[in-house]
A and B are shown apart, each in its own frame.
Chain A
């Protein structure tokens, strides 16, 4: 459950204030599949950073599962990112020369999960993300782009987060592979009821979601259910 009340974000450059987000108000319920979209410079990346607890808003309230994390310290935010949020990036960001399983287990390492249980959890997450078992012990750099993104999705799932944030997840993939990855997100939402926020500037990608939040110049200009 996400609640944003009057969120603003400003950057200060030589006493000049640039307001990137202007009093945003919205909420996202558990199990929703939402796309946040807008042209570049609209503020959607900044919003994603705040939603992903990578950054804090200048003012306003951001409640994640009932806790206002707008004024958390760096280490508290790290903890939130570790336990509540799973990230999927455009450029995958896998550790090179490291096996698929080890990549997926990385969040569990920082969560201080018992070592003996990690591999099973990682295998379950990989199975959900749809990567076939023959790849599990390969090095991450031996995989194709689509396979890499599945590993990244599995890594985002492994801590069983309240929220999966996908930042342009299809940006580095061809259309066909991109479709498969988007299908994976749909499955995760339908079958496993994960809350997913998809950040993209492409309308046809955004339309895979059930709800669409349209941002321009730091304000929400539209928020509607897609026809699906």
Chain B
């Protein structure tokens, strides 16, 4: 049987029962569509988490005080609250370890801040000039803190755009903000800069923040020589691991301890952790959707078995006029594959539309990847073959004599 004839027979057979073919296709459309939409949501959130981690700075190693704790223990206890890291540690890292580009010692706290009668509670970070490069913070108006200001303990502050909105009103122009005075813990600071908007929400709002010189923060707010984080930027991503090991050794020696009284994490670890969470999420969503695809496949098998029974006499006749076993087999297998193929194409379109709607109306990041399209196309083809195989082989094995007698 010629291929073109095979296609014609398949096409006519599917058209001869439009309602049934349509409903069977619908099952596959929903299956494929939900797989595409779910995977796009999973991969979209993976991408957005990765990019927000990247926006914290590149080639970053974070050192925090307190011992590293294993899974299942209380993570927050101790970490950050113990005082084991000092400004001197940061200086030693910068001067003593090769491959370190810059080091940013930081202290942070939340304080009530007032300006011209308005007040807000926000995160106040004591930082040095290197912070802006290490943490990838850019100033939109004015300037960032300088090393001179840190050294001189100048009472100057750089504020984030959300803090500006809270203190000076939504979208206040920079000329109304720069040079103004704000009060933190009864100390007056002069605003010298506003940072660029970075985005982020909830607990991790990088725009609702005030930067003041580290020295000032240590003197008047946290007290002592301690820092809450040391952020280290390595020269490139290849030396990250070696820099991290060197820092660990250095700090162990400096603190004169055998087990670390600090935690050290590099950005790659953070990204990997976040990715493993989101890829689990993606797999979960995808497999829930996959179930509906299997149900759609069973729908195809059901329809094909009904079709084979209904068309037993036709199969008998086809055999009588010369159809070989493989002709019958290909015809019924072809019908099943054609159903899944059409369902697959429509499903991809539907999944695309669904993921567009999700990202547009529910502001959830989605990403329809070529991978998920190829995957679901392959899966739908495979479903056609798997669920069409049994009915088709049943049809091809029919005895023509009995098939012709079938009532």
Contact = CB atoms under 8 A, between A and B. Distances in A.
**Is B one of A's binding partners?**
yes
A111 B322 contact: yes
A74 interface: yes
Contacts of A115: 2, 4-5
A106 interface: yes
B321 A82 contact: yes
Contacts of A81: 319-322
Nearest to A81: B322
A209 B277 CA distance: 84
Given A55-B401, A98-B12, A110-B1, A87 B320 contact: yes
A95 interface: yes
B99 interface: no
A101 to B, nearest CB: 13
Interface of B: prevailing SS: helix
A178 B5 CA distance: 34
A110 B330 CA distance: 13
Contacts of A110: 1, 318, 321-324, 327
Interface of A: 49, 52, 54-55, 74-75, 78-79, 81-83, 87, 89, 93, 95, 97-98, 106-107, 109-112, 115, 155, 159
26 contacts: A49-B401, A52-B320, A74-B325, A78-B322, A78-B323, A79-B324, A81-B320, A82-B321, A87-B320, A89-B317, A93-B313, A93-B316, A93-B317, A93-B320, A95-B314, A97-B16, A106-B321, A107-B322, A110-B321, A110-B322, A110-B324, A111-B322, A112-B2, A115-B2, A115-B5, A159-B322
A123 B322 CA distance: 20
Contacts of A97: 16
By size class, the interface of chain B is 20 to 34
A83 B322 contact: yes
A112 B4 contact: no
Given A49-B401, A93-B404, A109 B320 contact: no
Contacts of A93: 313-314, 316-317, 320, 404
B299 interface: no
Contacts of A109: 1-2, 5, 9
Given A78-B322, A93-B316, 11 more contacts: A54-B400, A75-B324, A78-B325, A87-B320, A95-B317, A110-B1, A110-B318, A110-B321, A110-B327, A111-B322, A115-B5
B404 A89 contact: yes
The 5 A-B residue pairs with the shortest CB-CB distance, nearest first, are A82-B322, A110-B322, A107-B321, A93-B317, A78-B324
Given A74-B325, A97-B16, A115-B4, A106 B318 contact: yes
Given A93-B313, A95-B314, A110-B327, A54 B320 contact: yes
Contacts of B319: 54, 78, 81
Nearest to A86: B321
Contact of B325 (A55, A75, A155): A75
A107 B5 CA distance: 12
Contacts of B322: 78-79, 81-83, 107, 110-111, 159
Contacts of A106: 318, 321
A93 B403 CA distance: 11
Contacts of B12: 98
A112 B401 contact: no
Contacts of B313: 93
Given A97-B16, A98-B12, A87 B321 contact: yes
A84 to B, nearest CB: 10
Contacts of B1: 109-110, 112
Contacts of B16: 97
Q: Which of B322, B324, B325, B327 has the most chain A CB atoms closer than 10 A to its own CB?
A: B322
